[in-house]
Amino acid sequence: MEVLLQQVVNGLFLGSIYALMALGYTMVYGIIKLINFAHGEIYMIGSFIGYFLIKQLGFGFFPSMIIAMVGCAILGVVIEFLAYRPLRKSTRISALITAIGVSYLLQNLMIYFFKPDTRPFPQVIARQTYQLGFISVSNIQLLILGVSLFLMILLQVIIQKTRMGKAMRAVSVDADAAQLMGINVNRTISFTFALGSALAAAGGMLIGLYYNSIDPMMGVVPGLKSFVAAVLGGIGVIPGAAIGGFVIGLIETISTALGFSDYKDAFVYGVLIIILLIRPAGILGKNIKEKV
């Protein structure tokens, strides 16, 4: 029982990373109905930006994370402008294939320039462990959870309280009507990509600090699982993406605690299938009838 409770706690910290990434998927889908499969690579590039800022330039963790978030936000806007905007009026399958192509392009560019080797992420924050009864928690885990929750709350404030957030909500409902009301749709979509990419960069920095390693392929599996989290919670629903991320993290760690670590990915996808059979729109999603 003690081991199980410990893994539940660990699952919350891991799930917060998945939640950050899932928010990027769900925001982009909510705005332009596109699954940005390059999102995991932006997460990876964010960790590499932080790595070089800390190791080569001697920056602290938080300044490096802010710069990495800004850099990946710019990268997200560039990707949207060059790869996705020209295909906005085309079929969904064309945009989907392009997203997969961008993902492979970023992976191979990083492998070409920085080699496929795993690099140790600089441990700029000394790791300390605290005992809460029989539960062990490290300061890195608390940092991950604290930063993730802060960014999720900040995102919700931006979406609910700012003019750009209102524009995002309007475009997600009806882009043509929003444009008729004077909303710059292109700028709103670019802002959405920037916001999602910044969250992914923060996740990459946090996971690099937690696992003490980064490599050019590190975004593939977390990117896929974060997409699963977004679908699980209800794709296009921001609170649902956050809940889905925590659920995925808990499933992984609990399956490990029960001795099924080799099958934790199977459990994740199995739960997704069950949820979609019961609620096809996800945990918080709403079934919307489409005209044909």
For residue 185, the enclosing domain spans 24-226
- What's residue 131's pLDDT? 83
264 has pLDDT over 90: no
Residue 72 inside a domain? The answer is: yes
Residue 156 inside a domain? The answer is: yes
Residue 47 inside a domain? The answer is: yes
Quick: pLDDT tens for 69-99: 999 999 999 999 999 999 888 888 888 899 9
Average pLDDT over residues 264-292: 76
Average pLDDT over residues 177-188: 92
- What's residue 204's pLDDT? 93
291 has pLDDT over 50: no
Residue 128 inside a domain? The answer is: yes
Quick: pLDDT tens for 156-182: 999 999 999 999 999 988 888 999 989
Domain count, the chain: 1
Q: Which amino acid is at 20?
A: L
154 has pLDDT over 90: yes
Q: Which amino acid is at 121?
A: F
Between the alpha carbon of residue 197 and those of residues 68, 92, 93, 141, 224, the distances in Å are: 10, 21, 22, 22, 15
255 has pLDDT over 90: no
Residue 244 inside a domain? The answer is: no
Quick: pLDDT tens for 14-71: 899 999 999 988 998 888 888 888 999 999 999 999 999 999 999 999 999 999 999 9
- With bands split at pLDDT 50, 70 and 90, how would you rate the model's confidence at 292? very low
Residue 252 inside a domain? The answer is: no
Q: What are phi and psi of 131, to 5 degrees?
A: -100, 120
Residue 10 inside a domain? The answer is: no
Quick one: which H or E segment has residue 137? strand 135-138
| DSSP line for 50-89 | HHHHHHTT---HHHHHHHHHHHHHHHHHHHIIIIIGGGTT
Q: Is 214 helix (H, G, I), strand (E, B) or coil?
A: strand
Residue 206 inside a domain? The answer is: yes
